[in-house]
A and B are shown apart, each in its own frame.
Chain A
Amino acid sequence: MSAEPTLLAPVADEPAPSGRSILRRLLTNVSVLIGGIVLVVMTLIALLAPQLGTVDPTAIDPVARNKKPGFERTIRSDDGANSTFTYRMGTDSLGRDVYSRVVYGARISLAISIAVALASIAIGLVIGLVAGYVRILDGPIMRVMDGLMAIPGILLAIAVVSLFRAGLTAVIIAIIVPEIPRVVRLVRSIVLSVREEPYVEAAIMAGTRVPKLMIRHILPNTTAPLIVQGTFIAASAILVEAILSFLGVGIPPETPSWGNIMAEGRNLFRVFPHNILYPGIFLGLTVLAVNILGDGLRDTLDPKMAGR
């Protein structure tokens, strides 16, 4: 490093932290640890759903409709032996086991949050890089983004979802669209500030081609903020999915997502609050964990934003 001309060294207040020290700082951050552990547990629940004493989450059972948590039912199998099945979280109005639906619901909600976070970041990154680097396109792109941001997020998601036939893809697209402008703004602002840095100007002077300039010099600066932004998008995606399902415009009602279980429980809420309570706890806990993780990541990776 010292052999190189100082002009090419990154301008930073402190030496750039190595990969290992970042990892150590992450693992000693309480927020990252707590959020991470809860999320690992949720992921395990999602992956191991069939092994956790669940039954088919979509199986309808007219005999066991609207049962309170702890309801036991003796099932006589074909060979004459009796077995007892306990509905740990009760059943819904179609007799589906709420516990199984909540456990399987972790799969849907986590999958949606990851898909939305990755897609929003990828699309926003590309548009943001173009806006920040290609001066002619900057104005038009940012005006469209301003327009998108002027439409309140949930409203935009509802509008987008109304354009498609109901389904998982429609819901994912509907949650992605309002998130993109935020990512674009973030990436663009980073590109605009980084391209003024001496080492980028030096690279341009040295004749570095645009693709290499982007990948080597500009992209690495966006990594930390985008990881932080991505966790917050993941948290908001889980919430928006639940809200869309709750309003009746989400994924098909038989799919066991947390939002759908709660939407189903709406009508009989006064008598059977558990149909909203249990999925609500799982959902709240997961989103809380992602948010706490995001706060921790921001404090560790992006110290400039700490304390906000």
Chain B
Amino acid sequence: MLGYILRRLLAAIPVLVIVAVLVFLMLRLTPGDPAAVIAGDNASSEQIALVRNRLGLDQPILAQFTIWAKNLLSGNLGESFFFKKPISELILGRIEPTLSLAFATILIAICVAIPLGVLAAYKHGSWIDRIVMGFSVLGFSIPVFVIGYLLIYLFAITLGWFPVQGYQPISAGFGGYLQRLVLPALTLSVIYIALIARMTRASVLEVLNEDYIRTARAKGQVERKILFRHALKNAAVPIVTVVGIGIALLIGGVVVTESVFAIPGLGRLTVDAVLARDYPTIQAVILLFSGIYVGINLLIDLTYSLFDPRIRY
């Protein structure tokens, strides 16, 4: 097991290195002077010269990368030229809303999608199955922000149950925090529910044809236990995998949802950085999100043996 973890970690490192190289090259491959780009549109020529000197942009590209990577590894993500702050500080200040939104979304998605998927597989071919599958295709077809505005219109403007927009830190009261989190999390969970429900249905459907399910039925096991203990557990590996893959969708959705609901999180930071062409911040955020994505998928790989003891490392 320990050997496997080590091997997987070692396999994830090259991917992250390549992401870092891509992010690094992104700026160097664009036409124009990267120092001028990093310094921003309003920079004076002295400021540009300062940036060039500090980032070593007058040196060969390999040396530039070494400087950049060294800074990165020592936790120095650079400074935002738009916000005039160290990027690590910016990110730390924005992480709570994004994490809250992501956790709430994952929680809603799993609690809704897995029972729906199991039910659809159990009632294969029935109207319930068709509705679940229909919802799933629909969820993939409507942009996140349209769902967000529909929910705002219905639950915030017409019914007045929730505030329209905004975020309240958890330290300012749990009730207000939760109240402001419900709509964005619901919005973001739609596509995630669609994805997980679809995979749960397909995976459980396959397992339901197995001999051990027939055995369980033959010995008189209750249907509910057959579904959730025998079928779901054996169908778990593809489901857990798709939860991990869905993190990419979730991250993309966070960027949009935070804009719709005016949540001051990392997604909003990304959009602000892009609009301001604040490249050091864009690079840092991409690296961070990619690292999280790869890291979560790595963790998920390690949980496979919990669901399927046949998988040995």
| A interface list, Cβ under 8 A from B | 143-144, 146-148, 150-156, 158-164, 235, 239, 242-243, 246-249, 259, 262, 269-270, 273, 276, 280, 283-284, 287-288, 291-292, 295, 307-308
Complex: chain B residue closest to A236, CB-CB: B140
- On chain A, the residues within 8 Å of B64 by CB distance are none
The one of A143, A242, A249, A292 that contacts B143, using a Cβ cutoff of 8 Å: A242
Complex: chain A residue closest to B259, CB-CB: A247
A150 pairs with B15, CB closer than 8 A: yes
- On chain A, the residues within 8 Å of B30 by CB distance are 163-164
| B interface list, Cβ under 8 A from A | 14-16, 18-19, 21-23, 26-27, 30, 137-138, 140-146, 149-150, 152-153, 157, 164, 198, 202, 205, 247-249, 251-253, 255-256, 259, 270-271, 274-275, 277, 279, 282, 285-286, 289-290, 293-294
- On chain A, the residues within 8 Å of B271 by CB distance are 158, 247-249
Complex: chain B residue closest to A286, CB-CB: B141
The one of A155, A248, A287 that contacts B142, using a Cβ cutoff of 8 Å: A287
State the CA gap A143–B137 with chains docked (Å). 32
The one of B137, B142, B198, B282 that contacts A159, using a Cβ cutoff of 8 Å: B282
* Distance to closest chain A CB from B197 (angstroms): 13
B143 pairs with A144, CB closer than 8 A: no
Given A150-B16, A150-B294, A161-B274, check contact A155 B146 (CB 8 Å).
no
A284 pairs with B142, CB closer than 8 A: yes
- On chain A, the residues within 8 Å of B289 by CB distance are 151-152, 155
- On chain A, the residues within 8 Å of B27 by CB distance are 163
Given A148-B22, A308-B202, check contact A291 B248 (CB 8 Å).
no
A295 pairs with B137, CB closer than 8 A: yes
Complex: chain B residue closest to A249, CB-CB: B274
- On chain A, the residues within 8 Å of B152 by CB distance are 269
- On chain A, the residues within 8 Å of B22 by CB distance are 144, 147-148, 151
State the CA gap A235–B138 with chains docked (Å). 12
The 10 closest A-B pairs by CB, nearest first: A154-B252, A147-B18, A288-B141, A287-B141, A152-B251, A152-B248, A280-B146, A162-B274, A284-B142, A163-B30
- On chain A, the residues within 8 Å of B205 by CB distance are 307
* Distance to closest chain A CB from B100 (angstroms): 19
* Distance to closest chain A CB from B117 (angstroms): 12
* Distance to closest chain B CB from A246 (angstroms): 5
11 A-B contact pairs sorted by A residue (CB < 8 Å): A147-B19, A152-B247, A154-B251, A155-B289, A163-B26, A243-B143, A243-B252, A259-B143, A280-B142, A280-B146, A288-B138
The one of A158, A276, A284 that contacts B149, using a Cβ cutoff of 8 Å: A276
A269 pairs with B143, CB closer than 8 A: no
B143 pairs with A280, CB closer than 8 A: yes
A246 pairs with B145, CB closer than 8 A: yes
* Distance to closest chain A CB from B263 (angstroms): 14
Given A243-B143, A287-B141, check contact A150 B290 (CB 8 Å).
yes
A273 pairs with B149, CB closer than 8 A: yes
- On chain B, the residues within 8 Å of A152 by CB distance are 247-249, 251-252, 289-290, 293
- On chain B, the residues within 8 Å of A288 by CB distance are 137-138, 141-142
* Distance to closest chain B CB from A158 (angstroms): 5
B15 pairs with A147, CB closer than 8 A: yes
Given A283-B146, A288-B141, check contact A155 B252 (CB 8 Å).
yes
- On chain A, the residues within 8 Å of B149 by CB distance are 269, 273, 276, 280
A151 pairs with B286, CB closer than 8 A: yes
B255 pairs with A143, CB closer than 8 A: no
* Distance to closest chain B CB from A250 (angstroms): 11
The one of A162, A270, A291 that contacts B282, using a Cβ cutoff of 8 Å: A162
The one of B141, B164, B247, B290 that contacts A235, using a Cβ cutoff of 8 Å: B141
- On chain A, the residues within 8 Å of B270 by CB distance are 155, 158
* Distance to closest chain B CB from A266 (angstroms): 8
- On chain B, the residues within 8 Å of A243 by CB distance are 143-145, 252, 256
B286 pairs with A155, CB closer than 8 A: yes
- On chain A, the residues within 8 Å of B294 by CB distance are 150
* Distance to closest chain B CB from A177 (angstroms): 10
* Distance to closest chain A CB from B62 (angstroms): 18
Complex: chain B residue closest to A158, CB-CB: B274
B277 pairs with A162, CB closer than 8 A: yes
- On chain B, the residues within 8 Å of A144 by CB distance are 18, 22
- On chain A, the residues within 8 Å of B164 by CB distance are 270
